[in-house]
Chains A and B, each alone.
Chain A
Amino acid sequence: MSASEIPGPAADVTAKVKKPGYTNPAFKAMGIPPLRVPSRNWMIFWTVLTVSISGIVYDKRQQKKITEKWCKAVEPLSRGKLDVNEKPRKITVFVAPPPSDYLDTSMTVWRRFVKPVLFSSGLDYEVFTEEKQGLIRAEVAERIRELRRNLLQQETELKRLEGERKLWSRCKNAFSKGINSMRATKEIDEEQEKLLALKFKAEFDLKNLLGVFLKNPDRDLKVVSRDALVSDPVMAGGVICIGRGAYKEYINGIHEGILGPLDPPKKPEPVITEVENQGLETSETNGTSDKDQSPQESFVEIAEDSTEKTVPTNSENTNEAPTNSEETTEVPKPVISPYISPSEYGEAKFPRELTTSKIIRELDTQIPAIFHQPILVLPMHSLSGFLNIPERIYRFYRKRYEADAFCRATASCVLQKARSFEPTIDLDLALAEEADWPEKWVKQGKEKGSEWVSEVRGDERVLKLLHVFEPSTIED
């Protein structure tokens, strides 16, 4: 702004006088005009503003660059061939929100740092989120129990067919069938029509009509997953757990699924039994269900709005298996309580159906079971609280290092750098995240016996089946 001297013959008294500015003989000799600089207060203001904003801008640019760099590093994998009847390798991702925080915090990490790397490498992924505690564990345990049930059913079917082949049972069947098969002709006609209709419907496939499919030799190829074709189950699939809570739940879920019973335990009596988890379902709205008169089971909600947290107390020994699982956002649905508590792991028998072969595969897709797939745990550092604000600001300006860690870990998952699980150190994966958890939340959780704050306990028989991805093996 030019000097506000009023142009005119008479110099105005109120006109501002320009400060002379800094100069010295050397500057004068070089021809540099007198340097003028804003006042001290303005200088402070502009300095603070530019430093803070440029810090943010730089950090964000670096984050983007780092993500791009890791995406490019992983991209050559996506250029491999995939046959028309093949499905790519699939990663299961379990996301849990940080304590007393929103799920969105974890999902941001997933979307910005983990998903791009997985996408660039051509992998398929399935995300399972949860908003309450315990849903990941329930989901994982249910999947394993489903697998066990299917294996048992298959065994019984095979045995039954074996038995039928024998001559004596054949004769018996023929005799009894002969007697039962006398029916009225009208009935038979009706049934025949029904069967024909079903047959027509089943056989009516547009693939028989459309030109591309009509005479195509590849028409009836079965869809097979790449994971099913791999001989070593460590190389098949993968599990990513975002957050230590999710990891704890995952480990718990695995143990529950393998060592726990196939059917839910009986409804609890009104007596407080600390050892057994009864099959109670607690809703998130009321801390204790009507059937449960003891405050044994409650859930710790991670919902942001609720200040009270209900925690599933499965006896004091609930292990928090840090496994992430996604939960569907069905708010009113109560979380299923565990079928077995960690204190019972030692007594539980290892299920026979899981010992039939070295690699247990899902029946329909032949993909190795989820506990064979290596695990990657990503620590979700998320501080909260007023007094932590300086620390949070510091972390905010250094997010690029976090980004690098996340992307590197995901790259190790993509490139399949796995090693077997070591119970001494691997149960403490991402332990540093627990230092960030708010004290009050932890105390509340301990009172209610929440999974997340209890110690992870694992059974040797189960843990030796697991594998872990090792991010430190990735350089670059």
Chain B
Amino acid sequence: MSFLGFGGQPQLNSQQKVSAAEAELDLVTDMFNKLVDNCHKKCVQASYNEGELNKTESSCIDRCVSKYFETNVKVGENMQKLGNAFGNAGKF
């Protein structure tokens, strides 16, 4: 559907599509939560002088999020490659 753009998807019936969508939503929510946790730990200062984020924190969060996404995507790709390699090896 939208996020995981695999080529050549097998045809799923509607039940499977719904569960695939649910799984994807879980994945994305999980990633989002982890992202927020990590970047909060790294970037938001503990002094809490004022409610708004200052420039340092904002820039830090921007950079943290982009790094997180990139890493996530790269790790996903590598895992997929590993998975394929295992799959191919298993055929022999």
Contact = CB atoms under 8 A, between A and B. Distances in A.
A78 B56 contact: yes
A67 B62 CA distance: 25
A81 interface: yes
Interface stretch (B10-18, B24-32, B70-78): B24-32
Contacts of B28: 206, 210
Residue from B25, B55, B56 having most chain A Cβ neighbours under 10 A: B55
Given A88-B59, A122-B59, A209-B25, A81 B54 contact: yes
Interface in B17-58: 25, 28-29, 32, 50, 52-58
B29 A79 contact: no
B39 to A, nearest CB: 13
A63 to B, nearest CB: 24
B92 to A, nearest CB: 39
B6 interface: no
A204 B53 contact: no
Given A124-B59, A206-B28, A209-B25, A81 B53 contact: yes
Q: What is the interface of chain B mostly: helix, strand, loop, or mixed?
A: helix
A78 to B, nearest CB: 4
A82 interface: yes
Nearest to B56: A78
Contacts of A204: 1-2
A77 B54 CA distance: 10
B56 A210 contact: no
B1 to A, nearest CB: 7
Contacts of B25: 209
A1 interface: no
Given A210-B28, A210-B29, A79 B54 contact: yes
A121 to B, nearest CB: 8
A80 B54 contact: yes
Interface in A35-89: 77-84, 86-88
Contacts of B56: 78-79, 122
B83 to A, nearest CB: 24
Contacts of B3: 206
A201 interface: yes
B55 A82 contact: yes
Nearest to B3: A206
B91 to A, nearest CB: 35
A204 B4 CA distance: 13
A84 B55 CA distance: 10
Interface in B55-69: 55-59, 62
B58 A88 contact: yes
A103 B14 CA distance: 57
B76 to A, nearest CB: 16
A209 B29 CA distance: 9
A201 B1 CA distance: 8
A83 B50 CA distance: 13
A82 B53 CA distance: 6
Contacts of B54: 78-82, 122
Contacts of A210: 28-29, 32
Given A206-B3, A206-B28, A210-B32, A77 B53 contact: no
Contact of A80 (B1, B2, B29, B55): B55
A471 B1 CA distance: 55
Nearest to B25: A209
19 contacts: A78-B54, A78-B56, A79-B54, A79-B55, A80-B55, A81-B53, A81-B54, A82-B55, A83-B52, A84-B58, A87-B62, A88-B59, A122-B56, A124-B59, A201-B2, A204-B2, A206-B2, A206-B28, A211-B29
Interface of A: 77-84, 86-88, 122, 124, 201, 204, 206, 209-212
A-B residue pairs, 5 tightest by C-beta? A122-B55, A82-B58, A78-B56, A81-B52, A82-B55
Given A82-B59, A87-B62, A210-B28, 20 more contacts: A77-B55, A78-B56, A79-B54, A79-B55, A80-B54, A81-B50, A81-B53, A81-B55, A82-B57, A82-B58, A84-B58, A86-B58, A88-B55, A88-B58, A88-B59, A122-B56, A201-B2, A210-B29, A211-B29, A212-B32
